[in-house]
Amino acid sequence: MAFVQNFPFFSIVLSMFAGTVSSVLPQKPAKYLNTAVICIVGTMSAVLLGFTLQTGESFTYMMGHFPAPWGNEIRAGVLEAAMALFFCIIMLLSLLGGRKKLLGEVEITKHNLYYILINLLLSSLLALIYTNDLFTAYVFVEINTISACGLIMIRENGRTIEAAVRYMIMSLLGSGLLLIGICMLYDLTGHLLMSNIREAVAQIVAEGTYSMPLLVTIALISVGLAIKSALFPFHSWLPDAYGYSTVSSAAILSSLVSKGYVFLLIKIFYRVIGFSIIRESKIIDVLFLFGLAGIIFGSLSAIKENDIRRMIAFSSVAQIGYIYMGIGLGTDVGMIASVFHIIAHAATKSLLFVAAIGLTDVSGGSRKFIDLTGAAYRNKVAGVAFTVGSLSMVGVPVFAGFISKFLFANAAVYNSGKMLPALVVLSISTILNAIYFMKTVIRIYTPAKTDYPCITWKQEKLYAVTMVLFMILNIILGMGSQPIVDLIQQGLSTFA
């Protein structure tokens, strides 16, 4: 066994350990430790990615060398490694972008607390990515929920507390459903390790027994994770949670946390139940429909919104809809599109959140559109970044969003039943996206006479660098998407 194969385990443990240590550290060291951990985990994931690409297949890693059913397994392949790497990049950039802002948002004494939560979140995300054990997955789902909740709440004002409570309730509902699903699965198969369940499920299906309970299980798990990832109509917690938490939290929550659950769902579909079985159950049709509804509804809500952060948050509802639509198409191409969109959306949405904060800062802290008039002139970097993000969201070529739009449309064509609704909704949603995003862009580029201060990139170098990196990332995804798509394809093929 190569040394590299230990990396997934190291990553998880390292970030957990860092979280624990942070509790006793003062603000600054905690900050640096956190950055360092993310960097290290990122590097390890990159190395792992290189390794898996070389071997071309995934491997399982038994913790403590205990075999199933007692042991706990980790499984890593191309896709997992790529995801881990990507999540690290986004997390790092989001934190860097919101770092200065954090000082104003969170009490200085609580900063180390903040970094604990971030570290825990990272570890749980990594665990969700790597684990090959359903129960472990459940445990980390909970850890994830709690740390996310903390991240929302840590900015102490009335709205965030309310949002956190709401988030908590919805999330726990989701977790509960997931737990019931897992229990039922355990009842049906007697296993918790994914690969074992897979075999058992295949057997059950072949025998034709327990078809109803299996369906219910699938439904429970899907709905549970859908609630947690804010699929329409389970999104009511989202706008407040994203809209009022600290900027880094919002960026991380919208681009990573919900995506972690989606990734888990995909994993369960492929690795636990088997995608062909999922396709036969009608559950993906339901997901497809909810996806479409979410796209339209999210966009419409965003259009009505008068607050830039909440607008971006509602946009997330629509984007999650895209992902579920791709899953709902029930083809491998659709799945590739969805996974790519997880990446593209994460890159874009965090960019937007961080850029939006730059704009609101130079508008007297107000997030109302009327005050944002001309903000792009006062903070040029943020203005450009926001424009790039918006264009990507609308799906203009060169940017990441275009590729995912293209992949979705392409995937839709291969499913003749769902082709037309998918394509039409895709087009309509492009128009709706254009309406609210470009309206904002025009707004921030309309000069206004205000006495708000201007911020140049020299004053906030870190912020500017982050924004530039974000934009480069977006354009890389948009222009050089082929390797990534290949990678996803390869990853998905070794997934099962």
Residues that bind another protein (CB under 8 A): 391, 394-398, 403, 405-407, 409-410, 412-414, 416, 419-420, 423, 426-428, 430-431, 434-435, 438-439, 442, 445-447, 479, 481-482, 485
Query: What's the CA angle centered on 76, arms 74 and 78, to 5 degrees?
Result: 170
| HEC secondary structure over the chain | CCHHHHHHHHHHHHHHHHHHHHCCCCHHHHHHHHHHHHHHHHHHHHHHHHHHHHHCCCEEEEHHHCCCCCCCEEEECHHHHHHHHHHHHHHHHHHHHHHHHHHHHCCHHHHHHHHHHHHHHHHHHHHHHHECEHHHHHHHHHHHHHHHHHHHHCCCCHHHHHHHHHHHHHHHHHHHHHHHHHHHHHHHHCCCEHHHHHHHHHHHHHHCCCHHHHHHHHHHHHHHHHHHCCCCCCCCCHHHHHHHCCHHHHHHHHHHHHHHHHHHHHHHHHHHHCHHHHHHCCHHHHHHHHHHHHHHHHHHHHHHCCEHHHHHHHHHHHHHHHHHHHHHCCCHHHHHHHHHHHHHHHHHHHHHHHHHHHHHHCCCCCCEHHHHCCHHHHEHHHHHHHHHHHHHHHCCCCCHHHHHHHHHHHHHHCCHHHHHHHHHHHHHHHHHHHHHHHHHHHHHCCCCCCCCCCECCCCCHHHHHHHHHHHHHHHHHHHCHHHHHHHHHHHHHCCC
Nearest distance from C-beta of residue 405 to another protein, angstroms:
7
Nearest distance from C-beta of residue 345 to another protein, angstroms:
17
d(CA 186, CA 92): 37
- List the structure tokens of 170: 């919805």
Q: Give whichever of 145 and 404 is closer to another protein, judged by the CB atom.
A: 404
Return the closest-CA partner of residue 162 out of 283, 62, 243.
Answer: 243
Nearest distance from C-beta of residue 239 to another protein, angstroms:
23
Q: Give whichever of 135 and 406 is closer to another protein, judged by the CB atom.
A: 406
Q: Give whichever of 130 and 408 is closer to another protein, judged by the CB atom.
A: 408
Nearest distance from C-beta of residue 78 to another protein, angstroms:
18
Nearest distance from C-beta of residue 403 to another protein, angstroms:
6
Nearest distance from C-beta of residue 397 to another protein, angstroms:
4
Sorted by sequence, the CB contacts under 8 Å of residue 423 that are 6+ apart come out as 409, 412, 413
Q: Give whichever of 18 and 487 is closer to another protein, judged by the CB atom.
A: 487
- List the structure tokens of 152: 């929302």
Nearest distance from C-beta of residue 402 to another protein, angstroms:
8
Nearest distance from C-beta of residue 406 to another protein, angstroms:
7
Nearest distance from C-beta of residue 145 to another protein, angstroms:
35
Q: Give whichever of 178 and 426 is closer to another protein, judged by the CB atom.
A: 426
Nearest distance from C-beta of residue 414 to another protein, angstroms:
8
d(CA 494, CA 159): 44
Q: Give whichever of 114 and 437 is closer to another protein, judged by the CB atom.
A: 437
Q: Give whichever of 157 and 446 is closer to another protein, judged by the CB atom.
A: 446
Q: Give whichever of 33 and 434 is closer to another protein, judged by the CB atom.
A: 434
Q: Give whichever of 102 and 335 is closer to another protein, judged by the CB atom.
A: 335
Q: Give whichever of 133 and 371 is closer to another protein, judged by the CB atom.
A: 371
Q: Give whichever of 289 and 419 is closer to another protein, judged by the CB atom.
A: 419
Q: Give whichever of 448 and 496 is closer to another protein, judged by the CB atom.
A: 448
Nearest distance from C-beta of residue 371 to another protein, angstroms:
16
Query: Which amino acid, one-letter code, is at 397?
Result: P
**Computed from CA positions of residues 258, 430, 233, 353, in that sequence, does the dihedral angle turn out positive or negative?**
positive
d(CA 133, CA 110): 34
Nearest distance from C-beta of residue 28 to another protein, angstroms:
40
